[in-house]
Amino acid sequence: MNEFLGRLRGRDPVLMLAIRTSRTADVVRIAKSTGHHAVMVDLEHSTMPLDVAASLCAAAGDLGLFPFVRVREREYGALGPLLDGGAQGVVAPRVETAAEAATIARACRFAPRGQRSQLATVPQFGMRPTPAATLNPALDDATVVQILIETPAGVARAGEIAAVDGVDMLAFGANDFTAELGVPGQYTDPRVTEAIAALAAACQRHGKPLMVGGIPDPARLRDLDALGVCPLRLTGTDTDMLYAGAAARAERFLA
């Protein structure tokens, strides 16, 4: 079993920091020293180039953090290079059909399960040339494909999406979902709870974890645990934290 997925099946919180603004491995070291277990390099909301994203992921892996990268919507050609460069987890946004999920999953794994292009050197093996018979199954087992559901259409097809081979977990994007409903940021709307319950039921049927993202209130997230949500918590983005720290420091000097 994938070690990271196994941890998500426990009760202890698994903390993940999103990286949007930072461009050096310093932010990864900060994530490590502040008790995070994973990072998510967010290309969906960033102008960051692929080589920087891959370098951040490789640094995270070296430090024992699980490195996710959220790709831009439907830019699935970037999945292979990012995985080759050090990413181990992929977050694919705004997926609404099983066919879309299957395309993503196949891009992330080698034949016969997928169509990831063959290579011999990756950061996880210290760039040591490694035979395909060893490298392929090791990377396939270590890779986590997370499908992000952000629309009512995606929720309606949750069972079909969760059933796709190679999809390891689902995630619910509360921000985009509430915007789609016309109630942006209203996470207590009953339709949000209903959607999460539907996704959790689909994931439980197929033995896959469900993460909820976009809700900044830890108490609300704990309430959702009862529905079957896994303990992967997105603590925030480097941009948000930098702003909060700068604002607090300015207030301190002006007091």
Q: List the alpha helices (DSSP H) in the chain.
A: 3-8, 26-33, 50-62, 79-85, 98-107, 132-142, 152-156, 158-162, 174-181, 190-206, 218-225, 238-254
Rounded Cα distance, 149 and 174, in Å: 9
- Packed helices 50-62 and 26-33: angle between N→C axes, nearest 10 degrees: 30
3-state DSSP helix/strand/coil % of the chain, to nearest 5: 45, 15, 35
Among this protein's residues, is 206 annotated catalytic? Answer: no
Q: Which of 36, 37, 45, 206 is catalytic?
A: 45
Rounded Cα distance, 235 and 36, in Å: 9
At 64, is the secondary structure helix, strand, or coil? coil
Which are the catalytic amino acids? 45
